[in-house]
Structure 1
Amino acid sequence: MPESNLVLIAKLQDMIHDCLKDYVSADEPMAILDFPDIRNCGDSAIWLGEMAYLKDRYRKRPAYVSRIDDFSAEELEQVMPSGPIFIHGGGNFGDLWVAHQDFRELVLERFPNRQIIQFPQSIHYKSKERVEQSARAIGRHKNFVLLVRDEESKQFAEKHFDCQVRLCPDMAFAIGGLKPAAAEFPVLAMLRVDLEKAGDLDVSAYPDVPVEDWTTESARRVRVSKAIGAASGLLTLKPGEVRLRKLDAAAHNRFRRGIRQISRGRAIVTDRLHVHICSLLLGRPHAVLDNSYGKVRRFMNAFSGGTDLSYMAASLDDGIGWARRQAGQATGRGDAR
């Protein structure tokens, strides 16, 4: 991996700590809500980065964690009557992925006297009415800290929300550098097929370039992750720790799957933010197309653009052309990764 890339990762890790050190204490319990129990490996990367940050900087684990659907306010209060409540980071602050915003605002309403910190998010709203609803929920709380991943989100939040707003890199960088597996083909296209896709990209002109999105884990992998959490010995632990180990196991399985998947390309073309971030952690060259509302471009402008490993492509043709040149150079160096 280029030395400049390692320097960038270390710099972003220090920036994360500068943002979070005022809200995390080695002695005070904390909760993390909205565990990402979904196939998106990028969300698992964020979760593992959140956990890595707490372990590396504070040697601690959260006292309470939950998904949206198994959250219990009563259990949280019983486990930790005091201490900050963190909400998992990502790109769902707004009304595009509304279930997460509904949950976020419910937590603000349910805990008016607890400090609530939002791990770094990208903000995107389509509805003025929903912006106003969020602003009311935040305004009533008075002790909400909103970390955002780009300048546009920061400006939006400062304009519309009455809370502390800070610019912070994505938590996945807290994982640190990764070792890739050997590549299987020159260029891999990792393109979204959901609401945030870059557009209707025509890849038919490139039959030699595999086109994929994050794959879904098999039923066997799901069973394995649950079995890890239910292994012998865990019955002596508190229920919260058992839940945390199960969720961690699921996140690790999904993350390893995603890393294996993108490692198969010697160079990558993508419109996914966390394919970009994971490619930086792997040291893999990658061309980047923006997602539907500018999230990837905004993040790269704030933190991760300008490296030799990443290229902001003007089009799919431009991105594949750049990636092919990078893959050819890697082969010329004898780089089989």
Structure 2
Amino acid sequence: MTSKSNLVLIKELQDRIHDCLKDYLSVDEPMAILDFPDIRNCGDSAIWLGEMAYLKDHYGKRPAYVSRIDDFSAEELEQAMPSGPIFIHGGGNFGDIWVAHQDFRERILERFPNRQIIQFPQSIHYASPARIEESARAIARHKNFVLLVRDEESKEFAEKHFDCHVRLCPDMAFAIGAIKPAAAEFPVLAMLRSDKEKAGDVDLSAYGDIPVEDWTSESARSVRVSKAIGAASGLLTLKPGEVRLRKLDAAAHNRFQRGIRQISRGQAIVTDRLHVHICSLLIGRPHAVLDNSYGKVRRFMNAFSGGTDLSYKATSLDDGIAWARSRAGQRIAA
């Protein structure tokens, strides 16, 4: 496979995103995005900002209604947009690993049987056959659900189990576009999962010079302040829905910028996080990629993003570190 530059890849994936979404959006019709990711994971904020960037760049619009899981109001949604499609935030929570999101998704399908509902691109993973059947029943009852997925395996699974329209679509974070990184501080950074999607325990005791981090820690105060700043401008004259959107946007920007600053510190990166891979492409940093617990990262790379010299599919942690060190050395020499 001929490698391509990250800028060429980003533009190609942005075009593919538009090819998928243009059938479900228009300039004039309002739309909603539900399940805002009010969590510490910077990757989820990258997806959100990509969703917002896509709407602005192609339609010059913002959602008429947004919500998190815990502040969703069907009445407020219907008041803000009596008609129009309902989008659900993308990511990797379709299935039974992160059940709160799947429960919410299925409640929305039940609550709005006559609205078109579009799932922004997701990876799918189930462990329970019973839960697959439960999701299948909820989707079959709805009749107008569009499921966008981020890899071929998820597409095959959805087409086998679910009665809905399924399309393969890149992750929405690519809609952000290329980003200028901060200055690097050390040769190699290991960004490894510390949650239930980690592939297993890793031992980096032999690599005392390599920082080992994740991006699921943050200052609660910094997020509160960013939300307040986002809502402050024109607060008294804005509708409640716009105030909420500004607060959530500000939190997403804060988290995303924190993540970009964090990964920029490595001249090269080793990771098992999908969005460290994606954001490394956005900032143009070389990175060795391991997989998560169920193959999500490699599945996405195989479908969309594995064809650049910036990324390397490592066979082991040792292999990934050796490759990252070699690339960091090349950058230093250059």
- Which category of TM-score, normalised to the shorter sequence, fits these structures? over 0.9
Q: Please, which runs of 5 or more residues in structure 1 have no aligned partner?
A: none
2: distance between equivalents of 1:284 and 1:219?
Answer: 29
Whether 1:136 aligns to 2:98 is no
2: distance between equivalents of 1:3 and 1:292?
Answer: 28
Task: Name the counterpart of 1:145.
Answer: 146
Task: Name the counterpart of 2:228.
Answer: 227
2: distance between equivalents of 1:23 and 1:281?
Answer: 26
2: distance between equivalents of 1:225 and 1:155?
Answer: 40
Task: Please list, as runs of the form range in 1=range in 2, the aligned pairs for 1:1-337 lying within 5 A after superposition.
Answer: 4-333=5-334
Task: Say whether the 8 Å CA contact 1:273–1:296 is kept in structure 2.
Answer: yes
Alignment RMSD (CA, Å): 1.0
How far residue 20 of structure 1 moved from its aligned partner, in angstroms, is 0.1
Task: Say whether the 8 Å CA contact 1:197–1:271 is kept in structure 2.
Answer: yes
Task: Say whether the 8 Å CA contact 1:270–1:289 is kept in structure 2.
Answer: yes
**Matched residues, percent identical?**
87
Deviations 1:174-220 (A, max 9, x none): 00000001100000000001111021111111000000000422133
Runs of 4+ deviating beyond 6 Å: none
Task: Say whether the 8 Å CA contact 2:35–2:68 is kept in structure 1.
Answer: yes
Task: Say whether the 8 Å CA contact 2:227–2:246 is kept in structure 1.
Answer: no
Task: Say whether the 8 Å CA contact 1:116–1:144 is kept in structure 2.
Answer: yes
Which amino acid in the other structure matches residue 229 of structure 1? Answer: G
How far residue 5 of structure 1 moved from its aligned partner, in angstroms, is 1.2
How far residue 229 of structure 1 moved from its aligned partner, in angstroms, is 2.8
Task: Say whether the 8 Å CA contact 1:229–1:243 is kept in structure 2.
Answer: no
Structure-1-length-normalised TM-score: 0.97
Deviations 1:265-294 (A, max 9, x none): 000000000000000000000000000000
Task: Say whether the 8 Å CA contact 2:270–2:320 is kept in structure 1.
Answer: yes
Deviations 1:226-258 (A, max 9, x none): 221331412201111110000000000000000
Query: Number of paired residues?
Result: 332
1: distance between equivalents of 2:4 and 2:183?
Answer: 20
Q: Please, which runs of 5 or more residues in structure 2 have no aligned partner?
A: none
Which amino acid in the other structure matches residue 286 of structure 1? Answer: H
Which amino acid in the other structure matches residue 93 of structure 1? Answer: F
How far residue 92 of structure 1 moved from its aligned partner, in angstroms, is 0.1
Higher mean C-alpha displacement, 228-237 vs 250-259: 228-237
2: distance between equivalents of 1:178 and 1:280?
Answer: 9
2: distance between equivalents of 1:100 and 1:90?
Answer: 10
How far residue 3 of structure 1 moved from its aligned partner, in angstroms, is 7.3
Which amino acid in the other structure matches residue 147 of structure 1? Answer: L
Which amino acid in the other structure matches residue 298 of structure 1? Answer: R
Which amino acid in the other structure matches residue 186 of structure 2? Answer: F
How far residue 306 of structure 1 moved from its aligned partner, in angstroms, is 2.2
